[in-house]
Amino acid sequence: AQSVTQLGSHVSVSEGALVLLRCNYSSSVPPYLFWYVQYPNQGLQLLLKYTSAATLVKGINGFEAEFKKSETSFHLTKPSAHMSDAAEYFCAVSERSQDMRFGAGTRLTVKP
Amino acid sequence: ETGVTQSPTHLIKTRGQQVTLRCSSQSGHNTVSWYQQALGQGPQFIFQYYREEENGRGNFPPRFSGLQFPNYSSELNVNALELDDSALYLCASSGRLAGGRLDTQYFGPGTRLTVL
């Protein structure tokens, strides 16, 4: 069965610092992996996705993630945090044709 | 903007009532999935509709039901509302890849349901 674990429910960084949000997955088949961002009182916006092509995936707003099969990880990074990056971030895994399983989310705070 | 719309944006109901939430999928998408997101949690899969048929269901009771229409828009119905049903309800639309695998899901803005 597919599942996702996001390590760290809250992450705080200073503006300009590296952002690292951790995600580990479990899947019985080659997974598709996603990162979504959610701003307060809004829906989910797709940041990036991995669908078995290049293992380093670049997304919007300067974010990227690397698929590491040996570590079953798909961590999200951004070299330099901006105040507008403050939001909730969700990692999700999809195996086949049905549901997408989400992690519990990581709230990113960016300090000035 | 994903092209996925939901209505209403907010709703207040009392325990025991029934509610219908609506979702219009993005053009070209034939699959709609519904999720419940309780405060401070990740979205939980309720069910999915593909070409007007239910195509998978999460761990939700039968009082959660749905429909998909020929234009691929969808409804989520919840009967006998309980206090714990208070949540943000998200719908996501997607297409299908070769072999039937679910393509990327695009989410609507959600409906905030409050049950008093």
Confidence band for A98, pLDDT divided at 50, 70 and 90:
low
Q: Collapsing DSSP states into helix, strand and coil, what is residue A77?
A: strand
> What is the number of other CB atoms lying within 10 angstroms of the CB of residue A35?
26
Q: Which residue of A has its CA nearest to B91?
A: A43
Nearest CA in chain A to B2: A45
The pLDDT tens digits along chain B (116 residues) read 668 999 999 999 999 999 999 999 988 888 999 999 998 889 999 999 998 999 889 999 999 999 999 989 999 999 999 999 999 999 999 888 777 777 788 999 999 999 99
Q: What percent of chain A has pLDDT over 90?
A: 75
Using the beta-carbon criterion (under 8 Å), do B42 and A98 form an inter-chain contact? no
Hey, are the CB atoms on B43 and A94 less than 8 Å from each other? Answer: no
Residue of B56, B104, B107 lying closest to A43 (CB–CB): B107
With CB atoms and an 8 Å threshold, state whether A46 touches B104. yes
Task: Kindly state whether B114 is in contact with chain A, defined as any CB-CB distance less than 8 angstroms.
Answer: no
pLDDT for residue B2: 67
Tally C-beta pairs within 8 A across A and B: 64
A49, A53, A92, B76, B113 from B18: Cα distances, Å:
37, 45, 30, 11, 11
Q: Which residues pair with B76 in a beta bridge?
A: B21, B66
d(CA A64, CA A77): 5
A54, A89, B40 from B115: Cα distances, Å: 45, 26, 17
Distance from CA of B97 to the nearest CA of A (A): 9
Chain A residues in contact with B42 (beta carbon < 8 A) = 90, 102-105
Best residue in B37, B53, B59, B93 to probe A by mutation, most A CBs within 10 Å? Answer: B37
Mean pLDDT of chain A: 92
* Bridge pairing between strands A100-102 and A106-111: unpaired
Using the predicted structure, report yes or no on whether residue A100 has a pLDDT greater than 90. Answer: no
Cβ A82 vs Cβ A48: under 8 Å: no
Report pLDDT digits (tens) over A3-34.
899 999 999 999 999 999 999 999 877 888 99
- The pLDDT, as a whole number, for residue A94 is 85
pLDDT of residue A97: 59
